[in-house]
Amino acid sequence: MVWVPLRTTRTDRWAPLRSPSTRRTTMSLEWLMDWSWSLDGLRDFIATGIQSFRDCDATALATVACLLVLFIWYCYHVGREQPRASYPTVNALMQGAEANGVQNGYVYCHSPECVRCAHHDGLNQKLYHNLQEYAKRYSWSGMGRIHKGIREQGRYLNSRPSIQKPEVFFLPDLPTMPYFSRDAQKHDVELLERNFQTILCEFETLYKAFSNCSLPQGWKMNSTPSGEWFTFYLVNQGMCVPRNCRRCPRTYRLLGSLRTCIGNNVFGNACISVLSPGTVIAEHYGPTNIRIRCHLGLKTPSNCELVVGGEPQCWAEGRCLLFDDSFLHTAFHEGPPEEGPRVVFMVDLWHPNVAAAERQALDFIFAPGR
């Protein structure tokens, strides 16, 4: 018979120095491993645990009890903090805003004639039909970008970053920037600035009608969070307003001299825009990125700003400011009442990177009333 010496582990060597409670815990772990959680082993394990608990120091028990009480109090405190009823959720605010015709802080008129407000079902199919009709009459040459834009319009509009979201039509592969330099449409900018006094004179004649309390004929009041915003349209979504044009004949004739003015589709506008002191225009997006919006400053009091894509700019009298209104933008007049309103002449020009063939096709596709 061969005698094999017992291996003395480190645990066995230090076992005599351990406390009774520690030895019982070690024994219980060994029982669990050897008996594979048998019923007898589980019973002995519980009995050993109870005995170990009895042998614990009173200070340790008090500490554990305090921690347990603190944990229960914390769970109760967190659980009872429910959202306060006086603060509506974001979803509730958005649903309420849409029910009242407000999207992105901008009040919508829901007019069937408004290109921004009339969201027709099947718009993409309608645009594609218009493009096919144009190609049959003229040519598919140069229509690749427009075809691509119409075919994937839903993806483009949904995937755009929140800083730029045109609401009706997005033409892909156009340079993107909130503001444009004066050289982008140099001829038209210089022509407008040379005729600054002519436009200003016709505005001042119109503005005399504001001496009474009612809104003068031809003027439109727009919705704003505060203050008053009036517009006098010569061209409204591609449609001439004859009565207003007769009251500003020289300004209207000037539009015919502009090379890049959008006058034949629903994205083209020309108007005098007036902000009274204390007015804020809610942030909103324009309908498309194929245009540049031009503001010629007529009256520019202090503390008036235009903010496009988070970048602020100030108007200057007799100078043009060009920007892409498909970016999120707002305007405000915080100047003193004695300085009077902020007044600009606004006209929509073609984006410089929209080719001549594309302009012709877009005029056909987005013709007023089509």
Domains and CATH numbers, the chain: 179-355 (2.60.120.330)
Write the CA distances from 297 to 75, 274, 294, 317, 335, integer angstroms.
61, 11, 10, 4, 16
Residue 117 has what pLDDT? 54
Concatenated DSSP letters of 13-61: HHGGGS-HHHHHHHHHHHHHHHHTS-HHHHHHHHHHHHHHHHHS-HHHH
Look at residue 58 in the predicted model and tell me its pLDDT.
66
Residue 77 pLDDT exceeds 70: no
Residue 350 has pLDDT above 90, yes or no: yes
Reading the block at residue 43, the tokens are 């019973």
Rounded Cα distance, 305 and 196, in Å = 20
pLDDT at 199: 98
Which DSSP symbol is given to 234?
E
231 contacts 276 by C-beta, under 8 angstroms: no
The confidence score (pLDDT) of residue 67 equals: 77
Q: Tell me what pLDDT residue 249 has.
A: 97
Counting residues of the chain whose pLDDT is more than 70, the rounded percentage is 69
For residue 318, which of 301, 349, 348, 295 has the smallest C-alpha distance? 295
- For the packed helices 144-151 and 123-137, what is the interaxial angle rounded to 10 degrees? 160
Q: Alpha-carbon distance 176 to 353, whole Å?
A: 11
Which range has the worst mean pLDDT, 12-21, 80-89, 244-253, 293-302?
80-89
**Distance between CA 159 and CA 146 in Å, rounded?**
18
**Residue 270 clears pLDDT 90, i.e. is over it:** yes
Average pLDDT over residues 327-341: 95
How far apart, in whole angstroms, are the C-alpha atoms of residue 74 and residue 71? 5
How much is the pLDDT for 110? 45
Query: pLDDT tens, 10-61?
Result: 444 444 444 555 555 555 555 445 545 555 665 676 667 666 656 666 676 6
Contacting residues for 221 by C-beta, under 8 A, at least 6 apart: 215, 228, 229, 230
Dump pLDDT digits (tens) for 147-173: 999 988 888 777 778 899 998 999 999
CA-CA distance, 181 to 178, in Å (whole number)? 10
> pLDDT-derived band of residue 236, with 50, 70 and 90 as boundaries?
very high
DSSP 174: -
pLDDT for the residue numbered 42? 57
pLDDT of residue 99: 40
pLDDT higher than threshold 80 for residue 345: yes
Q: What is the pLDDT of residue 193?
A: 98
**Lowest-pLDDT range of 13-27, 295-309, 312-326, 344-358:** 13-27
Please state, rounded to an integer, the average pLDDT across all residues of the chain: 80
Say what the pLDDT of residue 123 is.
76
Sign of the Cα pseudo-torsion (88, 94, 98, 101, in order):
positive
190-230 tens-digit pLDDT = 999 999 999 999 999 999 887 766 788 899 999 999 999 99
Geometric angle at alpha carbon 115, from 367 and 234, rounded to 5°: 70
By C-alpha distance, which of 244, 264, 285, 243 is closest to 369? 264
